[in-house]
Structure 1
Amino acid sequence: MNALKGIRILDLSRVLAGPYCTMMLADFGADVVKIEPPNGGDDSRSFGPFIGRESAYFMSLNRNKRSIVLDLKKEEDKGVFKELVKNADVVVENYRPGTMEKFGLGYETLKEVNPKIIYAACSGFGDSGPYRQKPAYDIIVQAMGGIMSITGAEGGEATRVGASIGDLAAGMFTAYGVMLALFHRERTQEGQKVDVAMLDCQVAMLENAVARYAISGSSPKPLGNRHPSITPFAAFTAADGQLIVGAGNERLWRKLCQIIGHDEWLDDPRFSDNGQRTANAAQLMALLNGVFVKKTVKEWLCLLEGAELPCAPINDIEKMMADPQIKAREMIVELEHPSAGVVKMPGIPVKLSKTPGKIAAAAPRLGEHTKDILAEVKEKAQEEAMLWPQASGH
């Protein structure tokens, strides 16, 4: 059995943040009905790379879902949507605030249709505040949220995080909010609105950067691959490439000095504790690079792993996908798509022992399930019509 079996989600979202949220929920058994506009559907269906005519981008975010085409500017299709809401548990949308209200389908309207509905809105800046109506993309919130200012080479310019963490974090927090709301409803039978802002999520993930500024009064700057408050905890240059080494406590620092043959550093006042090592990071990094350059990455990994000292190669995507740990955890999966053929994509990172997730179906073609879903709506309406006479007789 899947953890979310029996939960129906109406997914009005598009591109990345919302679809990532609903994919996470679909992976654990929720029936996600992806409601797409006519004339192309979700914008990401036109994003490359492509396999034949199918977008690999779209397919990587919309597995385990069903697709229906509705034009919410038309009264007839609005009526169909409201019928779907009657028997749904969750509505997810990532329009700019106020858009659903313009359609006449905002939370206040939908909770009259179904008082138990959970309405999750994921937008750039949320449903309050002076930026409420500003448009946003991933790079916009990465820039405004501060994360770009602490990312990049030391002394270099602010840099966008390589993955679209502005969208992905918002998708994950929205899924988290939906689960909290479902848990609350289970206890109280009460629905509610979930309001998630991409910018808020960036701030929530700043780790210790806020604390460092609050204490020092200086905004943190990019440090490349070096940790701001733990040393040595960084990338080092070997004879044929780079590797990561993390000596996160005094025991590991002593072990590292022994492995590389520099026990004398243990008595050096510049490196006597983590605070001193961090204050003198530039000097220590230069010394360590002078040692690491004498062996290959593979040779160092063998020595360091043998001593159980945290370390890693810096994998590109090809090496990551070939890694035995990634394979063992089924984190790259293959899925058969009816027109694109075999598609590779990331697997499910949360492993549940009793109710595991499952990738059961490829991303739907535009409107693929429209007839089936409309038939379900009609069947439900007929069932309710048959029940009304009974209800009026009591």
Structure 2
Amino acid sequence: MDRFTVVDLSRVRSGPTAVRQFADWGANVIKVEEPTEVKDDKPGGAAKFSDYQNTHRNKRSLTLNLKHPEGKALFLELIKRADVLVENYRPSVKKKLGIDYESLRKINPRLVYASISGFGQTGPYADRPGLDQIAQGLSGLMSVTGEAGRGPMRAGIPIADLSAGLFAAIGILMALLDRERTGEGRWVHTSLLQAQMWMMDFQATRWLIDGEVPGQSGNDHPTSSPTGVYPTADGYINIAAMGSGMFARLCEVLGMPEMIADPRFASAGQRVDNRAELNRAIISKTRTASSADWIEWLNEAGVPCGPILSMDQTFDNEQVRHLAVTRRVSHPQRGEIDIMAPPVVFEGAEMPAVRPAPETGAHSDEILQWLGLDAEARERLRAQRVV
């Protein structure tokens, strides 16, 4: 990835999620920020805010005032050398600044320009401000999350932001591959709404093909039973016994083989229709032993199951530790800290060294010198608040 230069104009989470896929594997990522950025989204300062470290590691930071003619000119010089630009401005804002795709492709026809918006680049909602929870509500996600009768519920993570960022990264990679054939870049764009609707997956398909409006089913799987959360003597576990064969093995482990032939539970459809009765029967047994015991017995029988862990317990789990899902980074103020590692393994390829997220403008001199500006020119621009 070190042969690619990525210019990052994005903020918050969706854009940085896309950029992180390139930064972690060694791309030359330059984060462009305003010289007097308001840091109300970084409590305690950018360098000390844990989420900022997670989102912006492995980048260099350049401050530029894009509203100043010289700042804009320097930005265009940067674009001439860039392979990728990622932005999540509202459509009208980038056009007003003159940094939209049509403007920049004249400067660099090979540029892959990636945009992430709340609701799309065109249409009646195009210029509305879009945030993750708004997209969760509009996409239908909140209507199927949570327990029936309790009202809509958001997902516990910013799933629309994260999925939009990942889809943008996939689009960028496809555009870079296409550029090898055509010699030209492309405008790649997605939105929180489009990404989240794609993530609705089989729930969306239930409506599109079957005309069924999905509802909330809490911890139970919407279309399979028994699949859900079951209390034990000392906590809770997940059990997912899909299919008649799996159900039969579950019944044997529970010591309730008579349920296999019970007409109420004889088929997948009947087990869904009689979910409440089936769950009550299972719970009467799972409450009699510990979570660890049930997980051992069920896994021995080949029935999918697992613990329900808090965040600290998750990172202490033996399989999580084995997978090495974190990386250690040395921060100048915080010392040694752990951040999440990429979830993809390239066998035989060593990941580049990880660097902490930069302070705003920390690499301005370094990058401006790369663009050909001497010390005197850099000081003049700084005095004029261009950088």
TM-score in terms of structure 2 length: 0.93
Equivalent in the alignment of 1:34? 31
Whether 1:100 aligns to 2:97 is no
Residue 235 of structure 1 contacts residue 243 of structure 1 at CA under 8 Å; is this kept in 2?
yes
Whether 1:186 aligns to 2:183 is no
Deviations 1:8-57 (A, max 9, x none): 0000001111111101111112111000112236x5x7434x58962111
Residue 326 of structure 1 contacts residue 332 of structure 1 at CA under 8 Å; is this kept in 2?
no
Deviations 1:139-194 (A, max 9, x none): 11011111111101233211110111111111111111111111111121111101
Spell out structure 1 runs of 4+ moving beyond 4 A.
50-53
- What amino acid is aligned across from residue 42 of structure 2 in structure 1? F
Which residue of 269, 276, 299 corresponds with 1:275?
A: 269
Which residue of 305, 315, 319 corresponds with 1:311?
A: 305
Give the fraction of aligned pairs with identical amino acids, expressed as a percent: 35
Give the 3-state SS of the residue equivalent to 2:157 in structure 1: coil
Residue 5 of structure 2 contacts residue 82 of structure 2 at CA under 8 Å; is this kept in 1?
yes
Equivalent in the alignment of 1:158? 152
Structure 1 CA distance, aligned partners of 2:78 and 2:208? Answer: 48
Structure 2 CA distance, aligned partners of 1:234 and 1:359? Answer: 41
- What amino acid is aligned across from residue 30 of structure 1 in structure 2? A
Compared CA separation, residues 134 and 359, structure 1 to 2 (3 A): farther
Structure 1 CA distance, aligned partners of 2:210 and 2:353? Answer: 47
Q: What pairs up with 1:168-187 in 2 under 5 angstroms?
A: 168-187=162-181
Structure 2 CA distance, aligned partners of 1:29 and 1:40? Answer: 26
Deviations 1:76-131 (A, max 9, x none): 01111100111110010001112111111111111010001010010101111111
Which residue of 20, 23, 46 corresponds with 1:23?
A: 20
Q: What pairs up with 1:360-379 in 2 under 5 angstroms?
A: 360-378=354-372
Residue 52 of structure 1 contacts residue 340 of structure 1 at CA under 8 Å; is this kept in 2?
no
Give the 3-state SS of the residue equivalent to 1:208 in structure 2: helix
Residue 47 of structure 2 contacts residue 357 of structure 2 at CA under 8 Å; is this kept in 1?
no
Residue 20 of structure 1 contacts residue 171 of structure 1 at CA under 8 Å; is this kept in 2?
yes
Whether 1:138 aligns to 2:171 is no
CA RMSD between the two structures: 1.8
Which residue of 44, 47, 53 corresponds with 2:42?
A: 47
Compared CA separation, residues 229 and 97, structure 1 to 2 (3 A): same
- What amino acid is aligned across from residue 269 of structure 1 in structure 2? P
Residue 62 of structure 2 contacts residue 363 of structure 2 at CA under 8 Å; is this kept in 1?
yes
Structure 2: which 5+ runs fail to align? Answer: 375-387
Structure 1 residue 354: Cα displacement: 4.0
Equivalent in the alignment of 1:14? 11
- What amino acid is aligned across from residue 110 of structure 1 in structure 2? L
Residue 47 of structure 2 contacts residue 358 of structure 2 at CA under 8 Å; is this kept in 1?
no
Structure 1 residue 213: Cα displacement: 2.3
Structure 1 residue 250: Cα displacement: 2.1
Compared CA separation, residues 30 and 332, structure 1 to 2 (3 A): same
Structure 1 residue 332: Cα displacement: 2.3
Residue 351 of structure 1 contacts residue 357 of structure 1 at CA under 8 Å; is this kept in 2?
no
Whether 1:209 aligns to 2:168 is no
Residue 47 of structure 2 contacts residue 53 of structure 2 at CA under 8 Å; is this kept in 1?
no
Deviations 1:312-362 (A, max 9, x none): 110110001111211111112221111222222211101111445445211
Q: What pairs up with 1:75-154 in 2 under 5 angstroms?
A: 75-154=69-148
Whether 1:251 aligns to 2:248 is no
Structure 1: which 5+ runs fail to align? Answer: 381-394
Equivalent in the alignment of 2:290? 296
Structure 1 residue 251: Cα displacement: 1.9
Structure 1 residue 215: Cα displacement: 4.7
Structure 1 residue 308: Cα displacement: 2.5
Structure 1 CA distance, aligned partners of 2:360 and 2:46? Answer: 15
Structure 1 CA distance, aligned partners of 2:320 and 2:215? Answer: 33
Compared CA separation, residues 129 and 356, structure 1 to 2 (3 A): farther
Count residues with an aligned counterpart: 374
Greater Cα shift, 305-314 or 365-374: 305-314
Residue 24 of structure 2 contacts residue 352 of structure 2 at CA under 8 Å; is this kept in 1?
yes
Residue 335 of structure 1 contacts residue 342 of structure 1 at CA under 8 Å; is this kept in 2?
yes
Whether 1:237 aligns to 2:228 is no
TM-score in terms of structure 1 length: 0.91
Residue 46 of structure 2 contacts residue 52 of structure 2 at CA under 8 Å; is this kept in 1?
no
Structure 1 CA distance, aligned partners of 2:279 and 2:328? Answer: 42
Residue 23 of structure 1 contacts residue 62 of structure 1 at CA under 8 Å; is this kept in 2?
yes
Structure 1 residue 249: Cα displacement: 2.1
Whether 1:330 aligns to 2:324 is yes
Structure 1 CA distance, aligned partners of 2:5 and 2:261? Answer: 63
Q: What pairs up with 1:216-227 in 2 under 5 angstroms?
A: 216-227=210-221
- What amino acid is aligned across from residue 282 of structure 1 in structure 2? A
- What amino acid is aligned across from residue 101 of structure 1 in structure 2? K
